[in-house]
Protein backbone atom coordinates (compact mmCIF):
# COMPACT_ATOMS: atom_id res chain seq x y z
CA UNK A 1 0.00 0.00 0.00
CA UNK A 2 1.31 3.42 -0.94
CA UNK A 3 0.59 6.14 1.55
CA UNK A 4 1.25 9.87 1.14
CA UNK A 5 4.54 11.17 2.51
CA UNK A 6 4.62 13.52 5.45
CA UNK A 7 5.20 16.44 3.08
CA UNK A 8 2.24 15.47 0.90
CA UNK A 9 0.00 15.15 3.94
CA UNK A 10 1.11 18.48 5.33
CA UNK A 11 0.51 20.28 2.02
CA UNK A 12 -2.96 18.74 1.78
CA UNK A 13 -3.89 19.87 5.28
CA UNK A 14 -2.65 23.46 5.04
CA UNK A 15 -4.59 24.03 1.83
CA UNK A 16 -7.85 23.38 3.68
CA UNK A 17 -9.07 26.54 5.39
CA UNK A 18 -9.84 25.72 9.03
CA UNK A 19 -9.77 29.15 10.64
CA UNK A 20 -11.75 29.20 13.88
CA UNK A 21 -13.69 32.22 15.11
CA UNK A 22 -14.09 34.16 18.32
CA UNK A 23 -17.47 35.47 17.18
CA UNK A 24 -19.43 32.26 17.05
CA UNK A 25 -21.67 30.52 19.52
CA UNK A 26 -21.79 27.27 17.58
CA UNK A 27 -19.38 24.39 18.00
CA UNK A 28 -17.13 23.96 16.19
CA UNK A 29 -17.02 27.73 15.79
CA UNK A 30 -16.67 27.39 12.01
CA UNK A 31 -18.04 24.59 9.85
CA UNK A 32 -15.05 24.65 7.52
CA UNK A 33 -12.97 22.92 10.17
CA UNK A 34 -15.02 19.84 9.35
CA UNK A 35 -13.57 19.84 5.81
CA UNK A 36 -10.23 18.81 7.26
CA UNK A 37 -11.89 16.52 9.81
CA UNK A 38 -13.52 14.55 7.00
CA UNK A 39 -10.23 14.20 5.12
CA UNK A 40 -8.55 12.91 8.28
CA UNK A 41 -11.34 10.41 8.89
CA UNK A 42 -10.83 9.01 5.38
CA UNK A 43 -7.07 8.84 5.87
CA UNK A 44 -7.35 7.13 9.26
CA UNK A 45 -9.75 4.58 7.78
CA UNK A 46 -7.35 4.14 4.87
CA UNK A 47 -4.62 3.30 7.37
CA UNK A 48 -6.85 0.62 8.86
CA UNK A 49 -7.37 2.24 12.25
CA UNK A 50 -10.37 1.20 14.31
CA UNK A 51 -13.22 3.17 15.89
CA UNK A 52 -12.64 6.02 13.45
CA UNK A 53 -15.27 8.67 14.00
CA UNK A 54 -16.06 12.30 13.44
CA UNK A 55 -18.32 12.99 16.38
CA UNK A 56 -21.14 15.51 16.54
CA UNK A 57 -18.89 18.19 18.02
CA UNK A 58 -16.33 17.93 15.23
CA UNK A 59 -13.67 15.88 17.04
CA UNK A 60 -11.88 13.19 15.05
CA UNK A 61 -11.23 10.07 17.12
CA UNK A 62 -9.57 6.78 16.20
CA UNK A 63 -7.79 3.80 17.73
CA UNK A 64 -4.66 1.95 16.71
CA UNK A 65 -4.72 -1.34 18.60
CA UNK A 66 -1.62 -2.57 20.36
CA UNK A 67 0.50 -5.39 18.97
CA UNK A 68 1.65 -6.45 22.44
CA UNK A 69 0.45 -9.53 24.32
CA UNK A 70 0.63 -8.00 27.79
CA UNK A 71 -1.82 -5.34 29.00
CA UNK A 72 -0.42 -1.99 27.86
CA UNK A 73 -1.34 1.60 28.63
CA UNK A 74 -3.38 3.60 26.13
CA UNK A 75 -1.57 6.67 24.85
CA UNK A 76 -3.51 9.55 23.29
CA UNK A 77 -1.93 11.67 20.56
CA UNK A 78 -3.58 15.04 20.12
CA UNK A 79 -3.31 17.94 17.70
CA UNK A 80 -5.68 20.73 16.73
CA UNK A 81 -7.22 21.20 13.31
CA UNK A 82 -8.10 24.90 13.44
CA UNK A 83 -5.88 27.87 12.65
CA UNK A 84 -5.76 31.25 14.34
CA UNK A 85 -8.59 33.75 13.79
CA UNK A 86 -5.93 36.50 13.70
CA UNK A 87 -4.71 35.86 10.15
CA UNK A 88 -6.54 34.43 7.14
CA UNK A 89 -6.06 30.74 6.42
CA UNK A 90 -8.04 30.81 3.15
CA UNK A 91 -6.28 29.82 -0.05
CA UNK A 92 -2.97 28.93 1.60
CA UNK A 93 -0.42 28.58 -1.20
CA UNK A 94 2.53 26.75 0.36
CA UNK A 95 6.06 27.57 -0.83
CA UNK A 96 8.87 25.06 -0.49
CA UNK A 97 12.46 26.23 -0.14
CA UNK A 98 14.82 23.28 -0.37
CA UNK A 99 18.33 23.43 1.04
CA UNK A 100 17.66 26.72 2.83
CA UNK A 101 20.84 28.78 3.06
CA UNK A 102 20.10 30.85 6.17
CA UNK A 103 19.26 34.09 4.38
CA UNK A 104 16.10 36.21 4.23
CA UNK A 105 13.16 34.57 2.48
CA UNK A 106 11.20 36.74 0.04
CA UNK A 107 7.73 35.28 -0.38
CA UNK A 108 5.71 35.73 -3.61
CA UNK A 109 3.66 38.52 -1.98
CA UNK A 110 6.98 40.40 -1.45
CA UNK A 111 6.78 39.79 2.27
CA UNK A 112 10.30 39.21 3.53
CA UNK A 113 10.95 36.83 6.41
CA UNK A 114 14.14 38.33 7.77
CA UNK A 115 16.60 35.82 9.11
CA UNK A 116 17.87 38.20 11.78
CA UNK A 117 14.34 38.67 13.13
CA UNK A 118 13.80 34.91 13.15
CA UNK A 119 16.93 33.40 14.70
CA UNK A 120 15.28 29.97 14.94
CA UNK A 121 14.74 30.00 11.18
CA UNK A 122 18.34 30.96 10.60
CA UNK A 123 19.40 27.79 12.42
CA UNK A 124 17.63 25.66 9.79
CA UNK A 125 20.37 25.98 7.19
CA UNK A 126 20.33 23.06 4.77
CA UNK A 127 16.78 22.08 5.65
CA UNK A 128 13.57 22.30 3.63
CA UNK A 129 11.54 25.31 4.74
CA UNK A 130 7.84 25.65 4.02
CA UNK A 131 6.02 28.99 4.19
CA UNK A 132 2.82 30.48 2.80
CA UNK A 133 2.98 32.89 -0.14
CA UNK A 134 2.88 35.74 2.35
CA UNK A 135 -0.82 36.58 2.02
CA UNK A 136 -2.03 34.08 4.65
CA UNK A 137 -0.67 32.19 7.59
CA UNK A 138 0.75 28.75 6.83
CA UNK A 139 -1.10 26.71 9.42
CA UNK A 140 1.87 24.64 10.59
CA UNK A 141 0.26 25.44 13.95
CA UNK A 142 -0.99 22.81 14.23
CA UNK A 143 -1.19 20.96 10.94
CA UNK A 144 2.48 20.08 11.37
CA UNK A 145 1.38 18.27 14.53
CA UNK A 146 -1.40 16.46 12.67
CA UNK A 147 0.95 15.54 9.82
CA UNK A 148 3.57 14.23 12.26
CA UNK A 149 0.98 12.06 14.04
CA UNK A 150 -0.41 10.74 10.74
CA UNK A 151 3.11 10.00 9.54
CA UNK A 152 3.98 8.13 12.75
CA UNK A 153 0.75 6.10 12.46
CA UNK A 154 1.59 5.30 8.84
CA UNK A 155 5.03 4.08 9.88
CA UNK A 156 3.56 1.84 12.58
CA UNK A 157 0.96 0.40 10.22
CA UNK A 158 3.69 -0.34 7.68
CA UNK A 159 5.97 -1.79 10.36
CA UNK A 160 3.66 -4.02 12.39
CA UNK A 161 6.62 -5.50 14.30
CA UNK A 162 7.45 -2.18 15.92
CA UNK A 163 6.10 -2.45 19.47
CA UNK A 164 3.27 -0.08 20.20
CA UNK A 165 0.78 0.40 23.02
CA UNK A 166 -2.87 1.04 22.34
CA UNK A 167 -3.03 4.44 20.68
CA UNK A 168 -5.92 6.88 20.64
CA UNK A 169 -5.84 9.62 18.05
CA UNK A 170 -7.67 12.85 18.89
CA UNK A 171 -7.84 15.78 16.48
CA UNK A 172 -9.62 18.75 18.00
CA UNK A 173 -11.34 21.86 16.62
CA UNK A 174 -11.22 25.37 18.08
CA UNK A 175 -8.00 25.26 20.09
CA UNK A 176 -7.04 28.74 18.93
CA UNK A 177 -10.16 30.25 20.45
CA UNK A 178 -9.58 28.47 23.75
CA UNK A 179 -12.37 25.95 23.29
CA UNK A 180 -10.40 22.95 22.07
CA UNK A 181 -11.50 20.61 24.83
CA UNK A 182 -14.87 22.21 25.65
CA UNK A 183 -16.76 19.20 24.33
CA UNK A 184 -14.15 16.54 24.87
CA UNK A 185 -14.49 14.12 27.77
CA UNK A 186 -12.23 11.43 29.15
CA UNK A 187 -14.81 8.91 27.91
CA UNK A 188 -14.17 10.18 24.39
CA UNK A 189 -10.42 9.96 24.76
CA UNK A 190 -10.30 6.68 26.70
CA UNK A 191 -6.56 6.85 27.37
CA UNK A 192 -4.21 6.73 30.36
CA UNK A 193 -2.04 9.63 29.27
CA UNK A 194 -1.60 11.88 26.29
CA UNK A 195 0.70 14.15 24.34
CA UNK A 196 -0.28 17.20 22.32
CA UNK A 197 1.96 17.91 19.34
CA UNK A 198 1.57 21.66 19.37
CA UNK A 199 4.92 22.96 20.61
CA UNK A 200 7.65 24.72 18.72
CA UNK A 201 11.38 24.13 18.78
CA UNK A 202 13.06 20.86 17.97
CA UNK A 203 13.46 18.68 21.05
CA UNK A 204 11.31 20.78 23.35
CA UNK A 205 8.87 19.28 25.80
CA UNK A 206 6.55 21.80 27.38
CA UNK A 207 5.58 20.75 30.88
CA UNK A 208 4.54 24.08 32.36
CA UNK A 209 1.83 26.52 31.44
CA UNK A 210 0.56 29.69 32.99
CA UNK A 211 -2.11 29.66 35.64
CA UNK A 212 -4.89 31.78 34.20
CA UNK A 213 -7.95 33.57 35.55
CA UNK A 214 -10.32 36.06 33.99
CA UNK A 215 -11.46 39.01 36.04
CA UNK A 216 -14.68 40.72 35.02
CA UNK A 217 -15.36 44.13 36.46
CA UNK A 218 -18.76 45.70 35.97
CA UNK A 219 -19.12 49.31 36.94
CA UNK A 220 -22.54 50.83 37.42
CA UNK A 221 -22.78 54.60 37.07
CA UNK A 222 -25.82 56.85 36.95
CA UNK A 223 -27.02 58.34 33.69
CA UNK A 224 -29.00 61.55 33.40
CA UNK A 225 -29.57 64.11 30.68
CA UNK A 226 -26.22 65.91 30.40
CA UNK A 227 -28.03 69.24 30.55
CA UNK A 228 -29.30 68.45 34.03
CA UNK A 229 -26.49 66.26 35.26
CA UNK A 230 -24.90 68.40 37.92
CA UNK A 231 -24.35 66.39 41.12
CA UNK A 232 -26.36 63.52 39.64
CA UNK A 233 -24.49 61.89 36.81
CA UNK A 234 -21.86 59.27 37.63
CA UNK A 235 -19.99 58.32 34.48
CA UNK A 236 -18.96 54.66 34.36
CA UNK A 237 -16.70 55.34 31.36
CA UNK A 238 -14.60 57.74 33.43
CA UNK A 239 -14.46 55.37 36.38
CA UNK A 240 -13.15 52.53 34.28
CA UNK A 241 -10.65 54.83 32.57
CA UNK A 242 -9.42 55.96 35.99
CA UNK A 243 -9.04 52.37 37.09
CA UNK A 244 -7.06 51.35 34.01
CA UNK A 245 -4.80 54.36 34.27
CA UNK A 246 -3.62 53.20 37.69
CA UNK A 247 -2.13 50.03 36.26
CA UNK A 248 1.66 50.28 36.03
CA UNK A 249 2.83 51.46 32.62
CA UNK A 250 6.21 49.76 32.62
CA UNK A 251 5.55 46.38 34.26
CA UNK A 252 2.92 43.69 34.85
CA UNK A 253 1.71 43.67 31.23
CA UNK A 254 2.30 41.20 28.38
CA UNK A 255 4.28 43.87 26.54
CA UNK A 256 6.66 44.43 29.47
CA UNK A 257 7.17 40.89 30.80
CA UNK A 258 8.87 37.70 29.67
CA UNK A 259 9.98 34.25 30.80
CA UNK A 260 8.29 33.38 34.08
CA UNK A 261 6.87 36.82 34.88
CA UNK A 262 3.11 37.09 35.15
CA UNK A 263 0.85 39.92 34.09
CA UNK A 264 -2.48 41.75 34.31
CA UNK A 265 -3.85 42.20 30.81
CA UNK A 266 -6.98 44.27 30.09
CA UNK A 267 -8.55 42.39 27.21
CA UNK A 268 -11.79 44.13 26.35
CA UNK A 269 -13.90 47.04 27.41
CA UNK A 270 -17.53 47.84 26.62
CA UNK A 271 -19.30 50.68 28.19
CA UNK A 272 -21.40 53.77 28.38
CA UNK A 273 -22.29 56.21 31.12
CA UNK A 274 -24.59 53.75 32.84
CA UNK A 275 -22.43 50.63 32.85
CA UNK A 276 -18.93 49.63 31.87
CA UNK A 277 -17.80 46.04 31.49
CA UNK A 278 -14.10 45.33 31.65
CA UNK A 279 -12.48 41.95 31.05
CA UNK A 280 -8.97 41.41 32.31
CA UNK A 281 -6.90 38.26 32.04
CA UNK A 282 -4.48 37.42 34.81
CA UNK A 283 -1.49 35.17 34.20
CA UNK A 284 1.17 33.75 36.48
CA UNK A 285 3.05 30.48 36.78
CA UNK A 286 2.00 30.18 40.44
CA UNK A 287 -1.51 30.27 41.86
CA UNK A 288 -0.27 32.59 44.61
CA UNK A 289 0.86 34.99 41.92
CA UNK A 290 -2.65 35.01 40.47
CA UNK A 291 -4.18 35.76 43.84
CA UNK A 292 -1.75 38.61 44.54
CA UNK A 293 -2.57 40.22 41.22
CA UNK A 294 -6.30 39.85 41.78
CA UNK A 295 -6.07 41.38 45.25
CA UNK A 296 -4.03 44.24 43.82
CA UNK A 297 -6.68 44.84 41.16
CA UNK A 298 -9.45 44.75 43.76
CA UNK A 299 -7.57 47.36 45.81
CA UNK A 300 -7.20 49.62 42.78
CA UNK A 301 -10.91 49.30 42.13
CA UNK A 302 -11.80 50.09 45.75
CA UNK A 303 -9.51 53.12 45.69
CA UNK A 304 -11.09 54.34 42.45
CA UNK A 305 -14.60 53.94 43.82
CA UNK A 306 -13.87 56.07 46.88
CA UNK A 307 -13.85 58.99 44.45
CA UNK A 308 -17.32 58.01 43.16
CA UNK A 309 -19.42 57.16 46.23
CA UNK A 310 -22.63 56.68 44.22
CA UNK A 311 -21.11 54.18 41.82
CA UNK A 312 -21.23 50.43 42.35
CA UNK A 313 -19.04 47.67 41.01
CA UNK A 314 -18.99 43.90 40.65
CA UNK A 315 -15.69 42.04 40.72
CA UNK A 316 -15.80 38.47 39.52
CA UNK A 317 -12.92 36.03 39.12
CA UNK A 318 -13.33 33.01 36.85
CA UNK A 319 -10.54 30.42 36.77
CA UNK A 320 -9.47 29.53 33.21
CA UNK A 321 -6.69 26.98 33.60
CA UNK A 322 -3.80 26.06 35.88
CA UNK A 323 -0.13 25.24 35.44
CA UNK A 324 -0.08 21.62 34.30
CA UNK A 325 3.18 20.98 36.15
CA UNK A 326 1.16 20.28 39.29
CA UNK A 327 -0.44 17.30 37.58
CA UNK A 328 2.58 16.16 35.56
CA UNK A 329 4.70 16.01 38.73
CA UNK A 330 2.42 13.21 39.89
CA UNK A 331 3.08 11.23 36.68
CA UNK A 332 6.86 11.43 36.22
CA UNK A 333 6.97 8.63 33.61
CA UNK A 334 5.00 10.73 31.14
CA UNK A 335 7.81 13.28 30.91
CA UNK A 336 10.66 10.82 31.38
CA UNK A 337 9.52 8.77 28.40
CA UNK A 338 9.10 11.91 26.31
CA UNK A 339 12.70 12.84 27.10
CA UNK A 340 13.92 9.35 26.27
CA UNK A 341 12.02 9.39 22.98
CA UNK A 342 13.48 12.76 22.01
CA UNK A 343 16.97 11.47 22.81
CA UNK A 344 16.36 8.28 20.80
CA UNK A 345 15.54 10.50 17.83
CA UNK A 346 19.02 11.99 18.17
CA UNK A 347 17.92 15.28 19.70
CA UNK A 348 18.63 16.98 22.99
CA UNK A 349 15.49 16.96 25.10
CA UNK A 350 14.68 20.28 26.72
CA UNK A 351 11.88 20.80 29.19
CA UNK A 352 10.38 24.21 28.85
CA UNK A 353 7.37 26.29 29.76
CA UNK A 354 4.81 28.04 27.63
CA UNK A 355 3.60 31.56 28.34
CA UNK A 356 0.07 30.55 27.63
CA UNK A 357 -2.20 27.58 28.05
CA UNK A 358 -2.52 24.41 26.08
CA UNK A 359 -5.35 22.00 25.61
CA UNK A 360 -3.03 19.58 27.36
CA UNK A 361 -3.10 21.75 30.47
CA UNK A 362 -6.85 21.49 30.63
CA UNK A 363 -6.71 17.76 29.96
CA UNK A 364 -4.22 17.40 32.82
CA UNK A 365 -6.79 18.80 35.21
CA UNK A 366 -9.51 16.63 33.72
CA UNK A 367 -7.34 13.66 34.70
CA UNK A 368 -5.26 12.97 31.59
CA UNK A 369 -1.58 13.92 32.06
CA UNK A 370 -0.73 15.59 28.73
CA UNK A 371 2.49 17.54 28.12
CA UNK A 372 3.14 19.29 24.82
CA UNK A 373 5.74 18.12 22.30
CA UNK A 374 7.44 20.15 19.58
CA UNK A 375 6.35 19.95 15.97
CA UNK A 376 8.99 22.20 14.53
CA UNK A 377 7.54 25.48 13.29
CA UNK A 378 7.89 29.15 14.08
CA UNK A 379 6.28 32.61 13.74
CA UNK A 380 2.84 31.13 14.33
CA UNK A 381 -0.32 33.20 13.78
CA UNK A 382 1.43 35.36 11.20
CA UNK A 383 2.04 35.58 7.47
CA UNK A 384 5.70 34.79 8.17
CA UNK A 385 4.87 31.40 9.67
CA UNK A 386 7.30 28.67 8.61
CA UNK A 387 8.14 25.07 9.36
CA UNK A 388 11.10 22.83 8.53
CA UNK A 389 10.15 19.53 6.91
CA UNK A 390 13.01 17.72 8.65
CA UNK A 391 11.76 18.94 12.04
CA UNK A 392 8.28 17.58 11.35
CA UNK A 393 9.95 14.29 10.42
CA UNK A 394 11.78 14.36 13.76
CA UNK A 395 8.47 14.94 15.55
CA UNK A 396 7.07 11.89 13.79
CA UNK A 397 10.14 9.88 14.77
CA UNK A 398 9.81 10.98 18.40
CA UNK A 399 6.20 9.77 18.41
CA UNK A 400 7.24 6.35 17.11
CA UNK A 401 9.96 6.05 19.79
CA UNK A 402 7.59 7.28 22.47
CA UNK A 403 5.00 4.67 21.59
CA UNK A 404 7.73 2.02 21.53
CA UNK A 405 8.71 2.99 25.07
CA UNK A 406 5.14 2.86 26.32
CA UNK A 407 4.62 -0.54 24.70
CA UNK A 408 7.12 -1.96 27.19
CA UNK A 409 5.11 -0.73 30.16
CA UNK A 410 2.60 -3.05 31.70
CA UNK A 411 -0.63 -1.99 33.31
CA UNK A 412 -2.81 -3.94 35.68
ZN1 LIG B 1 -1.37 25.44 18.20
Gap between the Cα atoms of 314 and 395, Å rounded: 47
Shared-domain flag, residues 251 and 107: no
In a domain, 412, yes or no: no
CATH number for 142: 3.40.630.10
Summarize pLDDT for 70-87 with one digit per residue, the tens.
Answer: 999 999 999 999 999 999
In a domain, 54, yes or no: yes
Cβ 113 vs Cβ 360: under 8 Å: no
Q: Bridge partners of 114?
A: none
CATH number for 305: 3.30.70.360
Is it the case that residue 412 has pLDDT exceeding 80? no
Residue 117: count other Cβ atoms within 10 Å of its Cβ: 12
Shared-domain flag, residues 53 and 95: yes
Shared-domain flag, residues 78 and 36: yes
Structural domain range at position 226? 211-320
Ligand 1 centre and the CA of 80: distance in Å?
A: 7
CA-nearest of 136, 241, 141 to 197 is 141
In a domain, 315, yes or no: yes
Query: CA torsion, points 147, 148, 150, 156, in degrees to nearest 10?
Result: 160
Final residue of a structural domain among 267, 295, 320: 320
In a domain, 1, yes or no: no
- Sorting pLDDT into bands at 50, 70 and 90, what band is 69? very high
- pLDDT value, residue 395: 98
Ligand 1 centre and the CA of 33: distance in Å?
A: 14
Catalytic: 250? no
Cβ 391 vs Cβ 376: under 8 Å: yes
For 210-330, strand residue ranges (E) read 211-220, 263-271, 275-284, 312-321
Gap between the Cα atoms of 70 and 327, Å rounded: 27
Query: CA torsion, points 243, 280, 264, 120, in degrees to nearest 10?
Result: -140
Shared-domain flag, residues 188 and 293: no
Cβ 345 vs Cβ 395: under 8 Å: no
Catalytic: 295? no
What is the count of structural domains for the chain? 2
By the CB criterion, residues less than 5 angstroms from ion ligand 1 are: 141-142, 198
Ligand 1 centre and the CA of 84: distance in Å?
A: 8
Final residue of a structural domain among 286, 320, 354: 320
- Sorting pLDDT into bands at 50, 70 and 90, what band is 320? confident
Cβ 164 vs Cβ 401: under 8 Å: no
Ligand 1 centre and the CA of 163: distance in Å?
A: 29
Final residue of a structural domain among 274, 299, 320: 320
Looking at 82, 200, 294, 359, which residue is catalytic?
82
Q: Bridge partners of 263?
A: 283
Ligand 1 centre and the CA of 37: distance in Å?
A: 16
Shared-domain flag, residues 17 and 59: yes
Complex ipTM:
0.97
Ligand 1 centre and the CA of 82: distance in Å?
A: 8
Is it the case that residue 356 has pLDDT exceeding 90? no
User: To 5 degrees, how large is the angle CA 81–CA 371–CA 164?
Assistant: 85
Amino acid sequence: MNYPTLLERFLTYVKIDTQSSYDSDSFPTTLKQLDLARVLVQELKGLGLQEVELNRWGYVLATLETNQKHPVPTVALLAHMDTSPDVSGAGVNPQIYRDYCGTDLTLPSSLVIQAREHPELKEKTGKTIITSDGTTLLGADDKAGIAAIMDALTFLVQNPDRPRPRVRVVFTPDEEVGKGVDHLSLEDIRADLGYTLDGEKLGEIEDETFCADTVEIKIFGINTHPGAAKNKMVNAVKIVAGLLDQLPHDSLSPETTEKKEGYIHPLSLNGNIQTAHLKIVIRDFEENGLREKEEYLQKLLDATLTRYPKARADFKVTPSYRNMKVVLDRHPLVLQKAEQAVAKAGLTPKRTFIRGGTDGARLCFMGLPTPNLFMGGGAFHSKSEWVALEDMQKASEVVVHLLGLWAKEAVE
